[in-house]
Structure 1
Amino acid sequence: MSITTHAPRTTDSARALRAELVERATALRPLVSGNAEGTDRARMVPAENIDALAQVGLFSLMQPARYGGLQTDFRTLLEVSRTVGYACGSTGWLTSLLNANAWFVGLFPARAQDDVWADHPGARVAGVVTPMGTAEPVEGGYRVSGRWTPASGCAHADWAILGVKRPDADGTADAVGIVLVPMPELTVQDTWFVTGMRGTASNTLIGNDLFVPAHRFHSVPDAVEGRYATPFTDEALYRAPFVPVTALVLTGPQLGLAAAAVDILLDKAPQRGLTLTSYSSQAQAPTIQLAAAHAASLADSAQLHAHRAAADIDDAAQTGLFPAYDARARMRMDTGRAAVLARKAVDIVCSAQGASSFGESNPLQRIWRDIEAGSRHAVLNPDVAAEIYGKSLFGIRGTVSALV
């Protein structure tokens, strides 16, 4: 098995743009981290954060260049969302998810893309791709109803991508799909009462008998197999594999949270004694040194797994060769593993810092809550990912989930 953490066909200009975008995200850290506690308490990323990210182009990473977007790649999205997530998990989560939903729009027919961006190139898109609604065929399109949750970023979005089932199309590629709906046609119900990733305001979207024109429907089974409706087949970004992308975009903010936790330990330990021991500085205690080593190594390992998945995804997009089932299974395994390792890194830091980690004034407690919640997203389920991957290693395919 080969291990690659950089897509080999990435150009020097793309790498330079990636570095510049990470610098822009880094420059916003003081603002985002300064608002992190308020974000958590208000259960909402403030407009100040959203506006600042938008102003430096960090919501246009996955938007087609045809509409003024940057049309970068998934390694870039991973690194930008990691950088923002370092300062605030919820803000990093929205940075990644709003960009990911823009990528989904890029898979739709040209007319649907025009609906979203032709007259409003700054439009943002939230979404829930899980098929929680129904679509009934009518003349010219569908009548869509349902309740969709959790809709991360819906408070800052102009459009929503919503997962639907078509009872009339059972047994066909159109049985499950995603549709595009303007946010003003939906009702937002305040249901996001959680302990982690509170600021994402991932509330419930409600729609009743909404008309969705036919061009705003995309088959999910087709997407899973790399059959996209976009006519712009020369745009490499929109050739990336659907399910690996859907999983990868959830890992970036968690890599940032793990890195932030390790840095907090390294910053605080030299100034604190180790309670009930003779060590006046925790940095001199082997217990803390070992904890720091293990936590830092786990955070690095999480990043390496995520980077390999991103490299595989970007290489597939750049070559135009849709990856085989076994390769996609490994990508899903990598993303699930990255989430678990990042979570373990934070857990070690909290244990090393003791009960003080959970004081309300300590950012570690927010980091711990955010990663405990975010790493348990269903698409990242490490046991499901491991079963899919383990079976694929023995040539057993397609028995666990269609989402590979």
Structure 2
Amino acid sequence: MPLPDPHPIVERAREVAPLIHAASDEIEETRRVPEALDAKLEAAGLYQLYLPEAYGGPQADPRSAASAIEEISMADGSTGWVCMIGSVLSRRFAWMDPDAVHAMKDMTGSLRAAGSNRALGRAQREGDGYRVNGRWNFQSGIEHSSWMFGTCVLMDGEEPLRDENGTPRTRAVAVPVRDGEIIDTWHVVGLKGTGSFDFEVDDLYVPAERTVSRLEPPMIESPLYRARFFGIWSHTVHAGCTLGIARGAIDELRDIASGRGSTGSRTLLRDRERVQRMVGEAEAIVRSARAYLFEAVAEAWAASEARSPDPTREIANVRLAIAHAGHESARAVDLVFSAAGTNAAHTANRLERYFRDVHVAVQHAAAAPANYDGAGRVFLGLPSGLPGW
């Protein structure tokens, strides 16, 4: 089954993009999205692209979600990143009891969430819930979120509970942000505006209904919420972010090239053969990576829709396309950054920001070089050797 037609959320992202672009300098300086813009993004559903329709979300398919993040990231990479992370976290509600989800919304007025897959917390069983301690880093958008999903190791006293393979068992706990502490640690070279601070909870009780594991069956039926595809749909929107940053960089160079030369020549950049060639290369790189991503996503969506008994190859192909999109986006940005010459060094234009942002973005696990290795092994008839495949 092919992917559905693009979700209206893509057009909503396109409409709000000029406001994001206008606020980009403030986002960079303050390390967060301004309150007024944040409210518009939240009202449009752009922080919760994967939130189930049952809870008022768009429940956008992965291609539409990636396209929406791409539009936002063209305007500002940090805002695209925060929307991306929030959207990934919003999918966890599909695994939770509906009564618990409605109670959470009533409790804080919102289901907007930050979170982390890294098991940096400890959860000890206590009565009908868990006693939780932990500190999680890289909490993008935490200041504007109502909830934080923190993955914890389940403990039995001082020892972790283990599965049949001896691996520590984990579970994500949903914590009201107001019940923890946000710690300002975000002093970085790129994606400055994401406000990816640390978040800590100390001796906090969390009822069992506010915990979740993707190893359990989802409560909502959809190709978007099938456990085997959990990882690739999470990372598809990461590719949308990197591709959007690359497109934004190309557009920025076009504006620079139409009105400037360089310190060594008054000839406009657009009239130079080297610049023309590099822009052409960058355009081909981004378009090719994007086409591969959406082709692979369509094939995997069809496998999820059909409940394929073994979607390993489709999953490997999406994993590869996501990593490829990230690194090709960085390569395209490098090309246009070089093409701009000394102009690229000035913060008066945003090309240097796209450069910094994309090189931070590709440090994410979605673009890890190991994805190339894992996909290669699958295509050679071997196990991927990587978790979540």
What TM-score comes out, normalization by structure 1 length?
A: 0.88
Contact 1:109-1:231 at 8 Å conserved across structures: yes
Query: What's the secondary structure of 1:299's corresponding residue?
Result: helix
Residue of 5, 9, 30 corresponding to 2:2: 9
Pair 1:289-2:282 in alignment: no
Residue of 5, 9, 25 corresponding to 1:37: 25
1:66 equivalent in structure 2? 54
Contact 1:62-1:71 at 8 Å conserved across structures: yes
Pair 1:260-2:253 in alignment: no
Aligned AA (2:323): G
Once residues 129 and 367 of structure 2 are traced to their aligned partners in structure 1, the CA distance between those partners, rounded to angstroms, is 33
How far apart are residue 195 of structure 1 and its match? 1.0
2:70 equivalent in structure 1? 82
1:331 equivalent in structure 2? 318
Once residues 134 and 334 of structure 2 are traced to their aligned partners in structure 1, the CA distance between those partners, rounded to angstroms, is 38
Residue of 18, 25, 37 corresponding to 1:49: 37
What TM-score comes out, normalization by structure 2 length?
A: 0.91
Choose 329-338 or 268-277, whichever is displaced more.
268-277
How far apart are residue 120 of structure 1 and its match? 6.0
1:140 equivalent in structure 2? 128
Query: What's the secondary structure of 1:105's corresponding residue?
Result: helix
Residue of 199, 205, 212 corresponding to 1:211: 205
Identify if the C-alpha distance between structure 1 residues 212 and 59 changes in structure 2 by more than 3 Å, giving closer, same or farther.
same
Once residues 119 and 319 of structure 1 are traced to their aligned partners in structure 2, the CA distance between those partners, rounded to angstroms, is 38
1:296-347, Cα deviation, whole Å (9 max, x unpaired)? 1111123123323432443344334465333322221111110000011111
1:95 equivalent in structure 2? 83
1:305 equivalent in structure 2? 292
How far apart are residue 249 of structure 1 and its match? 2.2
Aligned AA (1:175): R
Aligned AA (2:326): A
Aligned AA (1:192): W
The CA RMSD measured in Å over matched residues stands at 2.2
2:185 equivalent in structure 1? 191
Pair 1:350-2:351 in alignment: no
1:315 equivalent in structure 2? 302
**Structure-to-structure mapping, 1:361-376, within 5 angstroms:** 361-376=348-363
Once residues 307 and 105 of structure 2 are traced to their aligned partners in structure 1, the CA distance between those partners, rounded to angstroms, is 25
Identify if the C-alpha distance between structure 1 residues 243 and 77 changes in structure 2 by more than 3 Å, giving closer, same or farther.
same
How far apart are residue 353 of structure 1 and its match? 0.3
Contact 1:25-1:84 at 8 Å conserved across structures: yes
Choose 170-179 or 257-266, whichever is displaced more.
170-179
Contact 2:113-2:145 at 8 Å conserved across structures: yes
Contact 1:126-1:161 at 8 Å conserved across structures: yes
Aligned AA (2:274): T
1:213-253, Cα deviation, whole Å (9 max, x unpaired)? 22333335x2xxxxx433333x3432261111222222212
1:169 equivalent in structure 2? 161
Aligned AA (2:253): L
How far apart are residue 179 of structure 1 and its match? 1.8
2:143 equivalent in structure 1? 155
Contact 1:67-1:121 at 8 Å conserved across structures: no
Choose 111-120 or 100-109, whichever is displaced more.
111-120
Choose 301-310 or 319-328, whichever is displaced more.
319-328
Contact 1:101-1:161 at 8 Å conserved across structures: yes
How far apart are residue 121 of structure 1 and its match? 6.5
1:2-27, Cα deviation, whole Å (9 max, x unpaired)? xxxxxx4334xx43xx2x32222222
Once residues 219 and 195 of structure 1 are traced to their aligned partners in structure 2, the CA distance between those partners, rounded to angstroms, is 34
How far apart are residue 171 of structure 1 and its match? 2.4
2:103 equivalent in structure 1? 115
Choose 333-342 or 387-396, whichever is displaced more.
387-396
How far apart are residue 152 of structure 1 and its match? 0.8
1:22 equivalent in structure 2? 10
Pair 1:402-2:384 in alignment: no
Identify if the C-alpha distance between structure 1 residues 314 and 46 changes in structure 2 by more than 3 Å, giving closer, same or farther.
farther
Once residues 56 and 141 of structure 2 are traced to their aligned partners in structure 1, the CA distance between those partners, rounded to angstroms, is 21
How far apart are residue 141 of structure 1 and its match? 1.9
1:40-92, Cα deviation, whole Å (9 max, x unpaired)? 11111111221111233323432222222222211111011110111111111
Query: What's the secondary structure of 1:249's corresponding residue?
Result: helix
Identify if the C-alpha distance between structure 1 residues 115 and 230 changes in structure 2 by more than 3 Å, giving closer, same or farther.
farther
Give unpaired runs (5+ residues) of structure 2. none
Contact 1:22-1:79 at 8 Å conserved across structures: yes
Contact 2:119-2:150 at 8 Å conserved across structures: yes
1:135-182, Cα deviation, whole Å (9 max, x unpaired)? 122221221111101011111110111111124421248712222111
How far apart are residue 123 of structure 1 and its match? 2.5
Identify if the C-alpha distance between structure 1 residues 22 and 232 changes in structure 2 by more than 3 Å, giving closer, same or farther.
closer
How far apart are residue 282 of structure 1 and its match? 2.3
Aligned residues between the structures: 382
Once residues 312 and 181 of structure 1 are traced to their aligned partners in structure 2, the CA distance between those partners, rounded to angstroms, is 36
Percent of counterpart pairs with the same letter?
A: 27
How far apart are residue 95 of structure 1 and its match? 1.3
Query: What's the secondary structure of 2:238's corresponding residue?
Result: coil
